[in-house]
Amino acid sequence: MKKTWWKEAVVYQIYTRSFKDTSGDGVGDLNGVTEKLDYLQSLGVDILWLCPMYKSPNVDNGYDVSDYRDIMDEMGTMDDFDNMLKNIHSRGMKLILDLVLNHTSDQHPWFLESKSSKDNPKRDWYIWRDRPTNWESIFGGPAWTFDPKTYQFYLHLYTKNQVDLNWENPEVRRALYDMIIWWIEKGVDGFRVDAINHLKKDLSDMPNPEGRNYVPAWEKMTNVEGIQDFLEELRDETFAKYDVVTVGEANSVKAHEIEEWISEDNGKFNMIFSLEAHENWDANLDPDHNVVRLKEILDRWQRSAQGIAWNSLYLENHDRPRTVSTWGDDKRYWKESATALACMYFFMQGTPFIYQGQEIGMTNAPFDDIKMYRDVETKNFYRYKRKQEVPHEELMATIKKVSRDHARTPMQWHSGKNAGFTEGEPWISLNPNYRWLNVEAQEKDEFSILSFYKKMIQLRQSYECLLYGSTKLAETDCPDVYAYIREYENTRILVVSHLDSDGCHWSLKEKGQLLLANYSHLEEHKLQPYEARVYLLE
């Protein structure tokens, strides 16, 4: 397998809006990223992934782009971006941007032209129909909106303000390719490509035996036959011409399909983000989640990629609730479960991604009032379910588990005013636990979650086995223990993560040198609640 810089890197995702505000308007900005580069460098990460900072009305916090070649007003200017990029590169780090190619804002000049008349040259840049299909949008409600001026409907898989581009039109594709090349030549080092499996649509109705107004239409809008042709052209016209890294958000892709998506011979991206493990273990979706199923899924991805492709490794991102609150125990075993989960995913074969705040164990926010939430998906979910007469208390119980806003509360830098995020009024409320859960407190504690992440990064950089070695599950006779062996040439490393609040009888079957642990006192024949260990085997 080819060795590359991005396989050996650790990526840190920045949700810029919630990272650090320097202007006092309560919204994180590019200068805030620049201000915190020393912190990120001290953590040991190599690549920064920046969520959308393009010009946008912010209906979906930047994922509704109104100008791909300009900067959102709240986040600064293009000069600020250039200065940030210069400072990132001067520290030996790289930058990847979020790339939104499925849709634009309804305020993008392309769409304003498209909707102006049926005979406008850009009319076919978006998807218009006299009669809509019966699809439900991903964020709830109809996937089509009527335009009274031209008397047609336009398609939007997300909100009505995020209008789907018509990828069947070669002019649209060319305009997007030119934009991508513009950013690459500006100096960015790669892209995370949003919602990439939705580019091809099968514009036909879904079966509707129940006579519903709108029907979920995942198979009509996801991985539709012909999408690989689009992705191949996208790769060949842009990414393949440069030394950049690409990560496609392709939620529905399964392990047996990775060859055409990410294989080194035929893949369209270097890595993809899949949701299979999260969908099968999130407590809100699967009350009977268990480690056995998690191991089965992640091991399948490891085995399927071995020798032909490369995995992305992640626990959290801007679309997921905090893992320590859903997969772990953020009350009794907050520190232990945060570090055990970290150890579990971080040392598999692949490139690890850390989402901002994950490295200090940030938790879900205790927001009890729907008015405290800002996410358009959360608000739409609440509104549509209330129309269906689902009780308020039931909806709030779900939202408190799954809302994307849990990942979007401001970064907790210290225990002072607004956690050091802003001098103004934060755009979304802080998690009140910032008074004790913050970067400053953990930087002073050698046994903190932050210190554990630094040790993991240093350990991964110290052993080529943890980069390019094979991954094989190890048996421990404990169903709640996730253990695997990495092997490369003459080196073997055992990773053990106990993902439960009960103790577990276990003993090391081979001699080994302890490299890392999240408990200071280890019991010889027992794993303690949420205990993690890493051994160099003899």
Task: List residues with catalytic annotation.
Answer: 194, 249
Secondary structure class of 281 (helix, strand, coil): helix
CA dist 73 and 391 (Å) reads 39
* Spatial separation of the C-alpha atoms in residues 5 and 257, rounded to whole Å: 25
Buried-exposed string 305-339: b where 16+ CB fall within 10 A, e elsewhere: bbeebbbbbbbbbbbbbbbbbbbbbbeebbbbbbb
For 186-222, give one letter per residue: b (16+ CB within 10 A) or e.
eebbbbbbbbbbbbbbeeeebeeeeeeebbebeebbb
Q: Is residue 247 within 8 Å of residue 96, measured between CB atoms? A: yes
> Are 199 and 253 contacting, i.e. CB atoms less than 8 angstroms apart?
no
Reduce the DSSP state of residue 210 to 3 states and report it: coil
CA distance 353 to 6: 11
Q: Are 191 and 94 in contact (CB under 8 A)?
A: no
How deeply is 117 buried, as exposed, middle or buried, from its count of CB atoms within 10 A (0-12, 13-18, 19+)? Answer: exposed
Q: Extract the tokens encoding 297.
A: 């899924």
Which string of DSSP letters, residue by residue, matches 421-441?
A: S-SS--SSPPPGGGGTSSHHH
